[in-house]
Amino acid sequence: MRRAVLAVLALLALLAPAAVAAQPKVSFNDIEDEVMCDTCNVPLNVAESDRADQERAVIRKLIAQGLTKQQIKDRLAAQYGPGILATPQDSGFSLAVWWVPVAVVVALLALIALLLPRWRRARAPDGEERQPGPELSSTDAQRLERDLARYDV
């Protein structure tokens, strides 16, 4: 029993550094598209300006210091304000990014709910089922049978 416990402890001791090493390191490309060039108002990954170059240098410096992606974003937001992050803010005008799509979907559903019964009524007046066409005369039925027999494969 003691041997088994020791073996488990030894295994855990071996796995612990591996687990720490397995933590994903942030890559520059991973964070660049989540940060804005705060003087040109475009995402950093498409920005071309001296300020954008400075922001890139700052991010590389923070990555070199071993900070995680979230820590870097927090650091930038604390320094330059939440506007430096490419994700919309949850206050003020930026809220429109969230509520406008929801409002559009609700409006579309309401429109469908309103118009669908009308379309159905228009397709089937007075609630009647669609009637089949007129029945064939015996002459026409025989001719149809002959024609079909000719094309039988």
Partner 1 sequence: MALLVYGVVARHDDKSLDSAVKKGQLPTAPGASVALPTLDGSSRQTLAAWRGKVVVLNFWASWCGPCEQEAPVLERAQRQLSSTGGTVLGVTYKDDADASRDFMRKHKLSYPSLRDDRLDLAPKYGTTALPETFVLDKRGRIVALSRGEVDERFLTRAIDRAQKA
Contacts to partner 1 by CB under 8 A: 38-39, 49-51, 53-54, 57-58, 79-81, 93, 96, 100
Minimum distance of partner 1 from residue 99's CB (angstroms): 10
Name the residue nearer to partner 1 (CB basis): 101 or 116.
101
Nearer to partner 1 (CB atom), residue 26 or residue 76: 76
Minimum distance from CB of 40 to partner 1 (Å)?
11
What is the C-alpha to C-alpha distance for residues 53 and 39, in angstroms, rounded to an integer?
A: 12
Query: Do the Cβ atoms of 72 and 63 come closer than 8 Å?
Result: yes
In angstroms, what is the minimal distance from the CB of 29 to partner 1?
Answer: 21
Spell out the long-range contacts of 39-47 with Cβ–Cβ below 8 A and sequence spacing 24 or more: 43/86, 44/86
DSSP assignment, residue 96? Answer: H
